[in-house]
Amino acid sequence: MRHTHARIAAGTAALALSLGGANIALADDIRMGQELHSDNCISCHADMVGGDGSDLYTRSNRMVGSHDELVAQVNNCNVNLGTNWFDDEVNAVVAYLNAEYYQFDD
């Protein structure tokens, strides 16, 4: 019985460490996504809706209604702007926008 408890405790500790690593990786993605968004997206969005462009994400009739639609929209902008982002960069921008504005469940 003692060995079982030790294994459970070790498994719980490993899970906690891996989740902590996932949170750090997500924070890094969000940070990278914010930088990519600032460098590539804001000027176009500001031209579309004024201000700093964030009204595009918060308006009542926004076009993005799910995580999948957010991914599709970021990919669409990536193609239209010719940014040639890699998948990890697209995912980082999605992570930033989702954390900042949408809060969709993945």
Contact call for residues 39 and 83 (beta carbons, < 8 A):
no
pLDDT digits (tens, 9 = 90+) for 18-77: 445 668 778 899 999 999 999 999 999 999 999 989 899 988 898 899 999 999 999 999
Q: Which residue has the higher pLDDT, 16 or 80?
A: 80
pLDDT digits (tens, 9 = 90+) for 4-16: 444 444 444 444 4
- pTM for this one? 0.76
Overall average pLDDT of the 77-86 stretch: 95
pLDDT at 21: 60
Query: Exposed/middle/buried for 70, CB within 10 Å: 0-12, 13-18, 19+?
Result: buried
Overall average pLDDT of the 75-94 stretch: 96
Number of H helices, E strands in the chain: 5, 0
Distances in Å between the Cα of 14 and the Cα atoms of 6, 23, 27, 92 are 12, 14, 20, 26
Token pair 């969000």: residue: 30
